[in-house]
Structure 1
Amino acid sequence: MPQNQKKSIWIISFLFIAFIIGMMFLGIKFTANHTAVAPENSNIIGGGFQLISPAGSIVNDGIFRGKWMLMYFGATRCPHNQCRKDLIKMGEIINHLENKASQLVPIFISFDSNYDTPSRLMLSMKTYNDKIIALTGGELALRDISILYHVSIKKAPINSDISLVEPYDQFILMDPEGKYRTSIQTGTETHRIVETLESIIH
């Protein structure tokens, strides 16, 4: 092979390797400096759903249009009775809203459909405010709504046979058009939650 041709091949190979190394360096630098930023559009939380009521009927999100939705995700049995405490608080919130309560629908979605069958859900909800609408669904339906509303489904093992659903620690408020408005920590004092809702609901 002529000397000039060998030299050309060597130069091309060197430039190619330099190009690859340079791209790798830029990629590492970009990754190190890049910070993920949540989209400004808050409507990424929320979406359509189709679940089952305690009466066994199919309920979709469309029937709540025109009303604010205060949503809570958990189960009728949770570690440390947290779901019970949160559902009692949800009922108290509705009672304290007074006139504005008619503009809001409190919705409880159980992620423990194996235990919270429609009949058991109906029985359990009798101990809470009767304005709370309880819903559950099959595994796929619950998985879909957990993704849409950014709510993770976590279970805490009690023993080898039983795992209890850990409730989501926020109430999610959706506006009358089904768009996300805000989230409120369930541990917030009842009167402060009521004040927040009264300032938003018109």
Structure 2
Amino acid sequence: METQHERRKRISNRIIWGVLAVAAVLAGVGFQLASHGGPGLLVQSNGNEVGGSFRLDSLGESTVTEGDFHGTWVLVWFFDTNCPEDRCQPVLKSMEHAYQALHAQGVRVSPLAVSLDPFDENEALRNYVIPVAPHVMPFTGTPNMIKAMTAEYHAPDQKEGDHYVPAPRIVIMDPSARYAGTIDATGDADALIARLRQLSKR
């Protein structure tokens, strides 16, 4: 005959297994929603007109989010490594010059170059970006994340020949992760520096 202690133990075990089963189902549903539920579940605007949250992979294969850059002015620009060097590398250089100019004044800046091609290899990204812009941080993301980010950051997500169309503008987020403005991605370092100085003095 089952004792009261054994009965309580049996009921407790059933409750534990029930909770674990529910947690597994919820985790599976969450994964499916995040993978297939649309951009709104991957990137949140957080009240911003342009920009918002993200989850990207660095060259070191660690994951970063917008929270990792709080306290700095964030520059976000989209490109890919098949972009002709004379078209895209001037933009990377201007982001590098902006970083150096403001860093010398004590203004913290985080320039991010996000690949529109989710299959860009880390080595290709490193070789494309670092030699011309060592302080610009290249990132990749899953296809769904890139699609969600381009929608939130108002960047194109279309190909032109063998490469993606680079974003025509650089998005600027302030140290509180609020949208501050944009600037044409022309590769004009002086214009980018002036724009950041203007925004940082508001």
Fold-level match, TM-score > 0.5?
A: yes
Q: Output the CA distance in 2 between the equivalents of 1:57 and 1:68.
A: 21
Paired-residue identity, %: 25
Q: Of 90, 95, 117, which residue of structure 2 is paired with 1:90? A: 95
The equivalent of 1:10 in structure 2 is none
One-letter amino acid of the structure 1 residue matched with residue 87 of structure 2: Q
1:59 partner amino acid: V
Q: Which residue does the alignment assign to 1:68? A: 73
RMSD (Å), alpha carbons: 2.1
Aligned residues: 156
2:83 aligns with 78
Distance 1:189 1:118, change over 3 A: closer
Instruction: Name the CA distance, whole Å, in 1 between partners of 2:106 and 2:86.
Output: 26
TM-score normalised by structure 1 residue count: 0.70
2:115–2:139 Cα contact (<8 Å) kept: yes
Structure 1 position 76, deviation (Å):
2.2
* 1:111 Cα deviation from its structure 2 partner: 0.5
Unaligned 5+ segments in structure 2 are 1-46
1:46-195 aligned within 5 A: 46-79=51-84, 81-100=86-105, 102-114=107-119, 116-157=120-161, 163-187=162-186, 189-195=188-194
State the shift of 1:117 in Å: 1.6
Deviation at 1:102, TM superposition (A): 4.3
Tell me if the contact between 2:74 and 2:109 (Cα under 8 Å) persists in the aligned partners. Answer: yes
The reply on whether 1:45 has 2:44 as its aligned counterpart is no
- Give the distance between the partners of 1:132 and 1:101, measured in 2 at CA: 17
Match for 1:127: what amino acid? P
| Alpha-carbon contact 1:52-1:118 (below 8 Å) kept | no
Residues of 2 paired with 1:113 and 1:75: CA distance? Answer: 9
SS in 2 for 1:143: helix
